[in-house]
Chains A and B, each alone.
Chain A
Amino acid sequence: MDVTFILQLIINGLVVGSIYALVATGFVIIYKASSALNLAQGEFLMVGAYFCLNLLSKHQIPFWQAILITFAFSAILGILIERLILRPLIGSHLISVIMVTLGLSSILKALVQLFYGTDTIPFPEVFPSAPVLIGPVPVSQGYLYAIGCVTILVALLTSFFKYSKTGVAMRATASSQQVALSMGISVKKMFAISWAISAIVSSVGGILLGTIRGGIDMSLSFMGLKVLPVVILGGLDSILGAIVGGVIIGVLENLSGGFVDPLVGGGAKEVAPYIALILILMFKPYGLFGKKKIERV
């Protein structure tokens, strides 16, 4: 067995997995705050990436400014969607929430298609791409920067939830909306903030994917479906779970791509996370770190 090959696969898996972790974190933040399942997460990522690309290449705005503008745009998009579409649905049946986010994902996908077309658009190189050697394995610098960005962002998010007043209020909302309300926390505001944060985090994922792949197209929206095995593995309401799950699924995907794909002639990489999803649901339906639910009539 070729060790370099395995290492290469694992490192690729870590990179992709860290982006999964990021998007999954966005997913979990929304689910924790408002128990809404956002199936349009992948579209948030795509919209963020396209918006940033537009600023970079059409308007020639420097990278850091472009990123800040993209963040602002994503935040506004998230808040608008929460205010206009999700808030009227609070308390309604689960299928309504699932379908409304599916409808939303259709709308966002269609808008991107209308504005940018379906061709792959090259993404400007942000990080130097010259490879560096880690042990025997050459790794693109872009990969390392991506992992670095994700780590920093996750650390920022963790300290936000741990130390800032808003973050604590959001955690309070997640654990009990009624208690939070009686303590004077505006639950509506927390919902809006969770959507804004989630959209921002997803847009970072989109930009990182764009720089790593060197181009973006409509397939970015599939990340929203890829993230489902991740959150199921980690537990739907655990940010730590999202991160661990993201890395595991990313590595699993790349390993099965490297070892199973040659045996079956491709396609195993795409389907492996979903087989994992079924197995997790069978044996550990609340994931690694998820909270067990007790049902009452």
Chain B
Amino acid sequence: MRCGDFKTSYSADMTIFESNTARVMLGLFLCLLFSLPLYTPGYVLDIVNRIGIAVIGAVGLNILTGFTGQISLGNAAFMAIGAFSCGYLGTKFNLPFYVCIPLAGLLTAFFGMFVGIPSLRIKGLYLAMATLAAHFIVEFLVVKWDSVTGGVAGLSIPVAQVGGFAFDSDRRIFYLIFTISIASVLFAKNLFRTKVGKAFVAIRDQAISAEVMGVNILKYKLLSFGISSFYVGVAGALMAYQAKIISPETFPVTVAIDYLGMIIIGGLGSILGSIYGAVFITLLPELLRLGTSALAGPFPLLVSKLAAMKELVFGLFVVIFILFEPAGMAARWHSIKNYWKLYPFSH
């Protein structure tokens, strides 16, 4: 009987799958996931697609904020840049989606690195404010630069297609979103087993010590901004393909706050946590909608208060998680799992 989690080698500590069971379970989960479009109604699939996109964005933000410790409130702006550059490339140059999405990601990465340059001089709350300011400036530019972004009227995005196959329905675009989503989760998971990922974590834990140990702070901070923005840009581009029409109002500052909420509730510095958080925050308004429509009989007022309810519950969850489980759902899940794994002889 196991009575603890003991690892005797570095490779055992670094492994992604602790046992073959975990590998099989993940395989089964992926099979289940990819068969979803076969029997799920479109409305549910739409939510699932949004979860897939949110996972990419949340993992990206977690790389920057959770793993490198650089607080960014400019996430929504990065997403907007990804979406609009993808839309522009798609409509003006008729580029196919498999060129547009990486290009949009790269453009966002460059922009993110540009915003990240001041991060060498300023940190913490100053950086948070600088990224917030960047958000408002980008929002202004998106509205004003209407030859590229379509201005307030927005931009309609051509359907993504490869060969004769068009990703034109929720069912079809599901495969596009989740292929990219799973690839990006895998990449992120492996990133933190490499030198680069470890440099990120060192910068988060103690930047000055990391520098003394020979970590090039500027290089790795910019790299972190770049990788993170690439993820967020790709998420924005996918959002554009999914929504088919985007406008400046698609990316308000509350989107950035939602994403920060995802990684706080899910778990800062945890890839798995970003997924939990993305699922939770995306499902929250849908669950509330279900709840209010169920209670609409006795409390008809509830339906009109849905937006406020969503905001209230979101705020409460953020506050409660920070106060009582600062490491997020990922840590809570880990401790529950360990409790049962070692039951009845824990410790």
Contacts and interface: CB of A to CB of B under 8 A. Distances in A.
Interface stretch (B34-42, B99-107, B118-126, B173-181): B118-126
B133 A274 contact: yes
Interface in A99-156: 99-100, 102-107, 109-111, 113-114
A285 B122 CA distance: 7
A114 B308 contact: yes
A277 B133 contact: yes
Contact of B314 (A106, A228, A277, A295): A106
A278 B130 CA distance: 6
Q: Which of the four size classes fits the interface of chain A? A: 35 or more
Interface stretch (A157-165, A167-175, A263-271): A263-271
Contacts of B316: 103, 107
Interface stretch (A63-71, A84-92, A200-208): A84-92
B290 interface: no
B129 A277 contact: yes
Interface string A202-244: 0000000000000000000000010011001000100000000
Contacts of B312: 106-107, 110-111, 114
A95 interface: yes
A267 B140 contact: yes
Contacts of A271: 136-137, 139-140
B322 interface: yes
A178 interface: no
Contacts of A92: 326
B73 to A, nearest CB: 8
Contact of A275 (B69, B125, B133, B257): B133
Contact of B129 (A100, A114, A228): A228
B22 interface: no
Interface stretch (B157-165, B227-235, B260-268): B260-268
Contacts of B129: 228, 232, 277, 281
B291 interface: no
Interface in B124-159: 124-126, 128-130, 132-134, 136-137, 139-140, 143-144
A98 interface: yes
A94 B124 contact: yes
Interface string B304-347: 01011111101111110011001000000000000000000000
A22 to B, nearest CB: 20
B20 interface: no
A275 B314 CA distance: 30
Given A106-B318, A110-B308, A278-B134, A94 B144 contact: no
A234 B335 CA distance: 46
A85 B143 CA distance: 38
A229 to B, nearest CB: 7
B54 interface: no
A297 B315 contact: no
A-B interface, 8 closest residue pairs, ranked by CB to CB distance from nearest: A106-B315, A103-B318, A110-B312, A107-B315, A113-B308, A274-B133, A110-B311, A271-B140
22 contacts: A94-B71, A99-B264, A99-B318, A100-B318, A100-B322, A102-B318, A103-B314, A103-B316, A103-B322, A107-B311, A107-B312, A107-B319, A111-B312, A113-B311, A228-B132, A228-B133, A267-B143, A271-B140, A278-B137, A285-B121, A297-B206, A297-B209
